[in-house]
Amino acid sequence: MYIFSDRLYRKNEIKLQDDKKQIVFTTINNIEIIEWLKRHNFPESFIEDITNEDQSVAFEENGKFKLAIFKYFVQDDEDELLYHANNIVIIMTINKFIFLAHDEKIVKTIVNHLYRRYRPSDSLEYIMYSVIDILVDQTMNIVDKIDNRLEEIEDRIFDESLDEQEVQKSLYFSRRSLNRIGKVSVQHNDTVNKIINHFPSTVREKLRYEFIDLKEHLSFLINESKTYLDRTGYLQTLLMGFLSNRMNQAMQRLAAISLIFLPLTFIVGNYGMNFKNMPELNWEYGYLIVWGLNIGIAYLIFKWLKKKKWI
């Protein structure tokens, strides 16, 4: 468990004090936090929401508590371009800010980022803004990473050493990740609007420019994820066109080879017929003449195909 006050503290056990401002970061399975919430009449429906890993992005409020559920994108083990979304939970009261996540690595990551910008005088509303901003910045970094990879793919598509299967897999995972990011960013934007509207007017005015900046970042994410999603479709079309062109060239070469040997096969076939009276069979130089004819025909067809750029 982590707690911010005058500085950052790391403790295995910590007591929440009702009359003291506390900013706590821990995992969702922390029994101490759950019990504290229940003792202070945290709604049972809220408990179900924060423990449900499939819970969608949401914002809820009752008399004492504000509950916000966001998504944090984590790289999947299957591929570096595939990301899945984990739930993170923010609970805020008059003097408590509680951050919960299923994965302890997410808690540590957010704490490390917040530690660089934390000041003891920061209000809880500003802490909430800071945490959401860290989430959005992390998602923007993912989109930038996918963008860089798409540029690499675009440069490699016409490379002779291209691994088509690897590129198709990268484009597939990029599309899945961008699609998730786009949908979640729209939900985050709606939730941020609800949070702002439920703040007191004095707080809204004080944090006006911070949340304007946050909403601009979310709008950027929504637009960029759609743009890059379209770009993956374009690259898939470009790749399929390139592969189709490569296949056509291979078929063209096969057709050219067949065209060269077709008349030669016809000539050889004639001399494979079992007729008794074939005058060429008695010629002294008949064998060499047929070879010369075959070579001459093959050469002329080859030069013609070369001129037509079939080979």
Q: Look at residue 182 and tell me whether its pLDDT is greater than 70.
A: yes
Q: Look at residue 159 and tell me whether its pLDDT is greater than 70.
A: yes
Distance (Å, whole) CA 208 – CA 105:
31
Most confident listed range (51-60, 134-143, 296-305): 134-143
What are φ and ψ of residue 12, in 5° steps? -70, -35
Distance (Å, whole) CA 127 – CA 73:
20
Q: Please, are residues 74 and 84 in contact by the beta-carbon 8 Å criterion?
A: yes
**Cβ neighbours, 10 Å, residue 192:** 21
Q: Which amino acid is at 232?
A: T
Least confident of 160-164, 166-170, 301-305: 160-164
DSSP conformational letter for 199: S
Regarding predicted confidence, which is higher, 198 or 239? 198
* Burial class for 225, CB neighbours closer than 10 Å (0-12, 13-18, 19+): buried
State the distance between the two ends of the chain, measured CA to CA, in whole angstroms: 70
Least confident of 120-129, 191-200, 276-285: 276-285
Distance (Å, whole) CA 271 – CA 280:
9
Least confident of 75-84, 206-215, 300-309: 300-309
Structure tokens, 184: 């979640």
Q: Which amino acid is at 143?
A: V
Distance (Å, whole) CA 176 – CA 183:
11
- Band of residue 239 on the pLDDT scale cut at 50, 70, 90: confident
Query: pLDDT at position 84, please?
Result: 92
Average pLDDT over residues 141-167: 84
Query: pLDDT at position 215, please?
Result: 93
Residue-wise pLDDT tens digits, 67-115: 999 999 999 988 889 999 999 999 999 888 999 998 889 999 999 899 8
Query: pLDDT at position 13, please?
Result: 59
Using CA atoms of 266, 271, 273, 277 in order, give the dihedral in degrees to the nearest 10: 140
Using CA atoms of 30, 34, 35, 36 in order, give the dihedral in degrees to the nearest 10: 100
Q: Please, are residues 101 and 72 in contact by the beta-carbon 8 Å criterion?
A: yes
Query: pLDDT at position 127, please?
Result: 92
Query: pLDDT at position 256, please?
Result: 84
Structure tokens, 298: 């093959």
Domains of the chain: 2-245 (3.30.460.20), 246-307 (1.20.58)
Whether the model pTM is above 0.85: no
- Band of residue 4 on the pLDDT scale cut at 50, 70, 90: low
Q: Look at residue 167 and tell me whether its pLDDT is greater than 80.
A: yes
Distance (Å, whole) CA 91 – CA 24:
10
Query: pLDDT at position 9, please?
Result: 61
Q: Look at residue 245 and tell me whether its pLDDT is greater than 70.
A: no
Q: Please, are residues 288 and 233 in contact by the beta-carbon 8 Å criterion?
A: no
Closest of 28, 103, 115 to residue 72, by C-alpha: 103
Give Cβ neighbours of residue 116 (< 8 Å, ≥ 6 apart): none
